[in-house]
Amino acid sequence: MKPIEDQDHYEVLELPYSARLEDIKRAYPIVRAAYEEESLATYSLFGPDESELIRERIDVAYRVLTDDDARRVYDEKIGIEAGYTSSETAIAVDSEPSEASVEIVSALDALDEMDDLEDEESGDWDGPMLRRARMRRGIEIDQISDITKINPTYLRAIEESAYHDLPAAVYTRGFVIAYSRTIGVDPQSAGRSFMAKFEEARSEGRRSRLLSLRR
Amino acid sequence: MVAVDVDLEGANLHTCLGVESPRVSLADFVAQREDDLGKLMVKTPIDGLQIIAGTQANLASAQPSHLRRVRLVRSLRKLEADYVVVDLGAGTHLSVLDYFLVGDDGLVVLRPEPTSVENAYTFLRAAFYRRLRLAMVGHGVRQLVTQAMDQRNEKGIRTPIDLLHEIEALDPVEGKRFVQTMREFRPRLVVNEVRTAEDVKLGFSVSSVCKKYFGFEPEYLGYVNHDELARRSVGLRRPVIDVNEEADASIYLNRIARKLLAIRERDQQAAAPTGRGRTPER
């Protein structure tokens, strides 16, 4: 166990020496988030200067380990064998068309790992279930709103299954599909099951209004 | 399964579980009216769950004496139940630390607020030092740990990592034991009242900061979404899972429980060759 100044780049990023490029890319935002200026996690332990130093160490580690040449030189320097195979998969990851400019893949896998996805497998989506999926993926409402241009008020109404606060079916369906796509949930299955509940709630609403009119 | 409320100065677990006024409680053990913890178990409205309440404590001295506490800690491990869940009070009193350390798993629940995070760190630090003191054998090393527990110690030991260097210099064997203890000290974290995805990440961040600052790494078990029903369920004096199994909070709590069981299985398998897992009590 070493103090941070003596830790090597791998220890700083909390990665094994065999880490692949995608592991490094995944770990970086998670580890770095802890030491951001506004981070709650450093409160009462690290002062602003210390946090900044750690951030710098994390950034350097990231720069070196994500540069194949620099990493090879570094590995030799600290005396470890390059047991990783990064380049091929890395290119595949990089060349994937990115749908949005906002970084939303950050804590994704770690969060996925933490929870089993049992309720997603059922495919019977409602608002709270969509919200749970979003939280697990580490995505904020505002990020979805930035990407989809849908008013956050509607996004929240979807998550609360507040069917009566949502616009006409044709719009709501579009919102649910865009929302699901953004957080990486099957838009067809989410759209279908959410809209079934939407229609049911709306028709019940209509029935009860009719009843009260008759009275 | 039995739930034990050891928060004798602020007992309320019985209320959360809908047991109005338990006829016997842990206070009977503390006051030496009863030596057998098992006889203090009371039924709850929930199937398969019993409680040892913390009510009716002596206002003059709610906490057990040192000897009685040691006895309580031992008895807790011997209770006849598949699972024993111990509800701790706040703060870092030695008794709280000992009850925490006696368990196979220790859960620390925090909320995404500076005050709560600060409390969590204070508690984790205290629990770790306590664990360490119990693990160290040599008198000199133990003294060093006690010194380090004072935040303004003369030696300038700020973190467990500083302390490790001091101990290694003093006695390399104890140094190894220290590292071993550090590795085995794996409290579990739960972030409660989560409202944003940012809050969800707090568990990872706290875990990472602990690793860098203290040298031990808590395991992030999961989070529970802010759910109005959780608050209302206290009003109803029923566990939220009992009120509505489909509620957000219930789903999260179920996940955490399942994860905890999976971890126990994993740890038991890892420790299988040496028989039973660790027993923190000494």
- Chain segment B187-233, per-residue pLDDT in tens: 999 999 999 988 998 999 999 899 888 889 899 999 999 999 999 99
The arrangement of strands across the sheet holding B84-87 comes to B42-43, B50-52, B2-5, B84-87
pLDDT score for A122? 76
Alpha-carbon distance B8 to nearest alpha carbon in chain A (angstroms)? 29
When pLDDT is cut at 50, 70 and 90, the band that residue A210 belongs to is low
| Strand, coil or helix: B247 | coil
**CATH class belonging to A4-95:** mainly alpha
| C-alpha–C-alpha distance, residues B85 and B69, integer Å | 17
pLDDT score for A102? 35
Q: Which residue is closest to B263 within chain A, CA to CA?
A: A114
Closest CA relative to residue A61, chosen from A50, A74, A49: A74
**CB under 8 Å to B76, separation ≥6 — which residues?**
B4, B37, B84, B86, B99, B102
When pLDDT is cut at 50, 70 and 90, the band that residue A87 belongs to is very low
Main-chain phi, psi angles of B108, to 5 degrees: -115, 120
Which of the pair, B55 or B124, is modelled with greater confidence? B124
**CATH homologous superfamily, domain A108-214:** lambda repressor-like DNA-binding domains (1.10.260.40)
The answer to whether the CB of A18 falls within 8 A of the CB of A83 is: yes
pTM of the model: 0.82
| C-alpha–C-alpha distance, residues B37 and B25, integer Å | 9
Q: Is the Cβ of A108 closer than 8 Å to some Cβ of chain B?
A: no
Of A41, A111, A119, the CB nearest to B206: A41
Give which of A5, A43, A136, A145 to mutate to test B binding, by max B Cβ within 10 Å: A43
ipTM of the complex: 0.73
The stretch A74-91 carries a mean pLDDT of 61
Helix axes of A141-148 and A152-159: crossing angle, nearest 10 degrees: 120
Q: Which residue is closest to A127 within chain B, CA to CA?
A: B248
The answer to whether the CB of B77 falls within 8 A of the CB of B86 is: no
Which residue ranges does chain A devote to CATH 1.10.260.40? Answer: 108-214
- Whether residues A1 and B112 touch (CB distance < 8 A) is answered with no
Q: Which domains are delineated in chain B?
A: 1-87 (3.40.50.300)
- Chain segment A175-208, per-residue pLDDT in tens: 999 999 999 899 999 999 999 999 999 888 777 7
The answer to whether the CB of B227 falls within 8 A of the CB of B248 is: yes
The label of the residue with tokens 């320097």 reads: A77
pLDDT score for B21? 85
**How far, CA to CA in Å, does A89 sit from each of A21, A30, A110, A140, B220?**
8, 21, 19, 28, 29
When pLDDT is cut at 50, 70 and 90, the band that residue B275 belongs to is very low
Amino acid B61 reads: S
Main-chain phi, psi angles of B26, to 5 degrees: -60, -25
Question: In whole numbers, what is the pLDDT of chain A averaged over residues?
Answer: 81
Whether B86 shows a pLDDT value over 80: the answer reads: yes
Collect all residues of chain A within an 8 Å Cβ-Cβ radius of residue B222: 114-115
Which residues of B lie closer than 8 Å to A, measured between beta carbons?
A: 112-114, 117-118, 121-122, 159, 161-162, 164, 179, 182, 194, 196-198, 200-202, 204-206, 208-209, 211-213, 215, 220, 222-223, 225, 248, 251-252, 255, 258-259
Token readout for A111 is 């969060």
The label of the residue with tokens 């969590």 reads: B120
Give which of A4, A15, A40 to mutate to test B binding, by max B Cβ within 10 Å: A40
Measured on CA atoms in the order B140, B145, B150, B151, is the torsion positive or negative?
positive
Give which of B163, B196, B204 to mutate to test A binding, by max A Cβ within 10 Å: B204
The answer to whether the CB of A131 falls within 8 A of the CB of A159 is: yes
Which of the listed ranges A84-88, A122-126, A159-163 does the model predict with the highest average pLDDT?
Answer: A159-163
When pLDDT is cut at 50, 70 and 90, the band that residue B112 belongs to is very high
Amino acid A71 reads: R
Which residue ranges does chain A devote to CATH 1.10.287.110? Answer: 4-95
- Whether residues B259 and A1 touch (CB distance < 8 A) is answered with no
